[in-house]
Homo-oligomer: A and B are copies of this chain.
Amino acid sequence: MSTEQRDTVFIGKKPIMAYVTSTLIQLANLPSVNIKARGMSIGRAVDVAQIISRKTENSGYMIGNISIGSESLESQDGKTRNVSTIEIEVKRNTQ
């Protein structure tokens, strides 16, 4: 795993706890991290954000801004189709 600091975690096909760990490592150094996903992975992005906010509750991290969008992808037959995206901010709880 790279130790590079990035403020975005992209959700793919790894086990969900891998993304929880990645996000928590980034949050150790940064005030906020964005969790991004598209298509079928959108539900998993919500799971990652919920696991982090639930396990750390009042003392730790909270959900920030959430935005949704769509991207045009070109499929292998040359047609473009739209895929939905989500971006969930997780940030230090400042209470």
Contacts and interface: CB of A to CB of B under 8 A. Distances in A.
A86 interface: yes
A47 B84 contact: yes
Copies of this chain, complex-wide, total: 2
Nearest to A47: B84
A69 B63 CA distance: 10
Contact of A49 (B47, B63, B68, B88): B68
B68 A46 contact: yes
Interface residues of A, number: 21
Given A39-B43, A46-B68, 18 more contacts: A40-B43, A41-B43, A42-B43, A43-B43, A43-B84, A46-B84, A46-B85, A47-B84, A50-B68, A50-B69, A50-B70, A50-B82, A54-B70, A54-B82, A63-B68, A66-B66, A66-B67, A66-B68
Interface of A: 39-43, 46-47, 49-50, 54, 63, 66-70, 82, 84-86, 88
